[in-house]
Amino acid sequence: MRYLLISFCVLLVSCGSYSKKQNFQLDNSASKKFENPYFSDETKDYVYKATIDVYDNSFGGLLIIKKITDKEHRIAFTTEMGNKMFDFTFTEDEFKVNFILDELDKKMLINILKKDFKVLITENLSVSNLYSENNNRIFETLIYNKNHYYYFNRNQLTQVIKAKNGKEKVAFLFTDINNNIANKISIKHNNIKLEIKLKSIIR
């Protein structure tokens, strides 16, 4: 019985929420919505020099993100010579693979890229909870039914953490920010060998 109680207590601790483990302070002034400012301008073509490292493979080229309408984004990854590696369309509720290179045409990888890019381009998000931590305001929201924590420092979005069972699974870091453009973006997965690095070539 004693070992059963100990195991139960360990289980409770391990299943604590990410916000509790980070000692976030709940902020009761939470609004119902907040906005991700990046990739929201229909007049801009967001072009990044990109590297995608997945397990023992590395793919380099250009990532182009374009907001087509209020509810549609197009994301294409090409070589620097212009040869397409993948081309995705995101609408409010749908995702479409327009093209993907055979070497990247893996169901698991496509699903991961879908979820990662959805975080980058989703503009209007519903707030589950609002927290504070030092100079950060952290908005908790759901994307594809998974908890995501958006960190704003002085009204700038600096990082997003995707968490599961209280643990950080994916970290999105935004640096060199100017006029609602994050000129450097890093997406790092902690449970698989996958990292995406983006550096803007248009300022």
Stretch 152-171: mean pLDDT, rounded?
Answer: 94
The percent of residues in the chain predicted with pLDDT above 90, rounded, is 74
Lowest pLDDT segment from 11-15, 64-68, 98-102, 176-180? 11-15
**Residue type at position 39:** F
Residue 147, CA distances (Å) to 18, 19, 33, 165, 197 in order? 9, 10, 15, 10, 23
Length of the chain: 203
17-200 has which CATH code?
2.50.20
The residue with tokens 């369309």 is: 89
170, 167, 185, 179: which is closest to 121 by C-alpha?
185
What rounded mean pLDDT belongs to the chain? 90
Asked whether residue 3 carries a pLDDT value surpassing 80, the answer given is no
Using alpha carbons, list the distances in angstroms from residue 84 to 74, 88, 125, 180.
13, 11, 31, 27
Half-sphere exposure of 116 (CA within 13 A, CB side): 24
Quick one: pLDDT band at residue 11, thresholds 50, 70, 90? very low
Q: For residue 43, how far is the Cα from the chain centroid?
A: 23
Please name which of 20, 141, 144, 60 lies closest in space to residue 94, comparing C-alpha atoms: 144
Rounded Cα distance, 61 and 73, in Å: 19
Q: What is the mean pLDDT of residues 72-78?
A: 98
The mean pLDDT of 179-190, rounded to a whole number, is 96
Contacts for 71 with CB less than 8 Å, ≥ 6 apart: 91, 92
Residue 7 has pLDDT above 90, yes or no: no
Domain ranges of the chain: 17-200
> CA–CA separation, 115 vs 14, rounded Å?
25
pLDDT at 14: 46
